[in-house]
Amino acid sequence: MKHFIIGTAGHVDHGKTSLIKALTGQETDRLKEEKERGISIELGFAPFKLPSGTLAGVVDVPGHERFIKNMLAGVGGMDLVILVVAADEGIMPQTREHLDIIDLLQVQKGIIVITKTDLVDEEWLDLVQEEVRELVGGTVLEDAPVVPVSSVTGEGTRELIELIDRTAENLQERPTAGYFRMPVDRVFSKTGFGTVVTGTLLSGKLGLGDVVEILPDMKEARVRTLQVHGTKVEEAVAGQRVAVNLAGVERENIDRGSVIAAPGILKPSHRLDVQLKLISDIKKPLANRARVRVHIGTSEILARVILLEADELEPGKTGFVQLECEDPIVAARGDLLVIRSYSPMRTIGGGKVIDSAPPKRKRFHAETIGILRTKSKGTPEELLHQFMLSSGQTAYSRDDLERGGGFDEAITEEAINRLGSQGLLRQFAAENKTYYVLNSVYSRKAGEIAAALEKYHTAFPLRPGISKEEIRSRYFPGMSNKIFSALMDFYQDEDVIRISGENIAKTGFRPEPQGEQDRLFQRIEAEYRSAGFQTPGWEDIKSRYRLDAAEAEEILNYFINKKVLVKLDDNVLIHRDNLEKARDLLVRFLEEKGEISLGEARDLLNTSRKYALPVMGYFDKEKVTRRIDDKRVLY
């Protein structure tokens, strides 16, 4: 079944609420003050069953200029707008401002209703209709049908209902695939239930028990119950007015303007890149860094407009801007917004979100403008490619790409496949997910790592390579260890690098001494092998072979890493062959005698206590022996 939202717009006291009552039988003014003053202050809602059986939701917005921000909180979720003009007054200031807002937010379809026809004669009614036709020229309502109606006599209401039903057949349904999100327009607590929020589900599906994220505070809650038009349901879909009972969040932690969405999909930001258009009848240009009120979804946030192409934006003109918001804002690519002047408050323009979490942009920067043009007009794969190039990240999960590209799951999948078929993407597995990296980034990083390894191996030919952590922190900052390890395995599989323990080296590299250095190494190793269990100190070796401190450290590290020499303590090194001989002698002795003292070990190894003590300590650590009082036994 198709689901959609009908909304009203128009000047205060032009009969919007009365019209809804005539159509639906429902009273949308619910506040005491509204009933006393006879005007709508807050958003009102009513279900509307059409002759075809379709159940629509109706949003009644306030028309008074003081409550424009409340009107804006309701208009964003509308699929069909009814612009109401009273026959006895004609076009008024909020008629024009509401029309500007409808045009800026590109509401799909519209119907113009001339109300209070019982108060005027036919000639006057014709003049009002002509005036309205002139007003809507060049807007999204230019071709909208005009219906005269009297909510008092009922004249025209049947024709209007039939027209709404026919129009509904041609409305484009909101996407139910992909992630869900819902801007919150009402919050209240209900005894026995807790926190309840209402709004229009813009995309996706929401079901009982689902975990949602409350933005911008990034708190999680669980859906306890769902209602659509006052009826409990197990699932709500895009295009429906929904009341959501949330468990795990208090009333004071959520407000109108908050967004509930699938966890991890949307990211609050203090910046938005926007293609902004000013309406043509404002009195003066918009200056750089002007303070404005940004209305998006159901939220109102103060921001500075950073003009990226000029010092001023003229009325009626369009330009790329970056909004620097005073509070975190939640948006997705493609969202439409309205801006109003800070003071006096008046609608001055609107635009489309190009990037919902951009970096700080430079003004008058050709590359920046080129990026924004691509983002505003490009295909999904072009936009995804641009996001991956500009975000500074190396590897992306599917969720990263959905969030960064601003597309639903199906479009993201198609864009990934196209980039892959064009040879622009590589993929690897980590943490039971598939990660994607641009081929250009993959190759650039491979080149950077190869150059670093070449330089390192030249400077330190005896070392096994650069540590993994150094490579990660230098070339992949911010990447988790698990994803980094998986990416390095991918590089190794493609023979870009070789991994040796916790080190990374060039493919084919082996840390081996060459030429004269090799002969030096052989002499030093022969000394330690022939020394048995009374080995020379390393300081003696440095002095004897005239090694400087750096060279001596490299040689020692090489011997230890290759396990040619084993360091028993800070002063004792022993050749591995001699250590194996010691193990054999010790095990045979203990198998025969059962236990051995330090003195017996000294005599067995034909050495001194200075060397026997670290040798025995080593075998204790290796669990060859176990110390009991002043004796050792086999472990």
Measure the CA–CA gap between 409 and 416, rounded to whole angstroms. 11
- Give the C-alpha separation, 204 to 159, whole Å: 33
Catalytic residue among 2, 21, 64, 562: 64
> Cα separation of 183 and 199, whole Å?
6
Dig out the tokens for 220 from the structure: 């999680």
Catalytic choice (3, 13, 95, 535): 13
Rounded to an integer, what distance in angstroms lies between the CA atom of residue 394 and that of residue 352? 28
| 3-class DSSP state of 474 | helix
Contact in structure between 182 and 200 (CB atoms under 8 Å): yes
Contact 252, 246 (CB under 8 A): no
What is the per-residue burial (b if ≥16 Cβ within 10 Å, else e) of 483-501? bbebbbebbeeeebbbeee
Yes or no: say if 87 and 198 are a contact pair by the CB < 8 Å rule: no
Active site residue 11: no
Query: Is 518 labeled as catalytic in the residue annotation?
Result: no
Residue 467 · residue 503 · CB < 8 Å: yes
Catalytic residue among 17, 95, 117, 368: 17
DSSP 8-state assignment for residue 251: G
Is residue 324 within 8 A of residue 271, CB to CB? The reply is yes
Instruction: Report CA-CA distances (Å) from 550 to 504, 542, 553, 554.
Output: 22, 11, 5, 6
Copy the structure tokens of residue 264: 């991890």
Q: Nearest Cα to 483, choosing from 391, 397, 388?
A: 397
The 10 Å Cβ neighbour count of residue 93 is 12
Residue from 3, 11, 14, 16 carrying the catalytic annotation: 16
Give the residue numbers marked as catalytic.
13, 16-17, 64
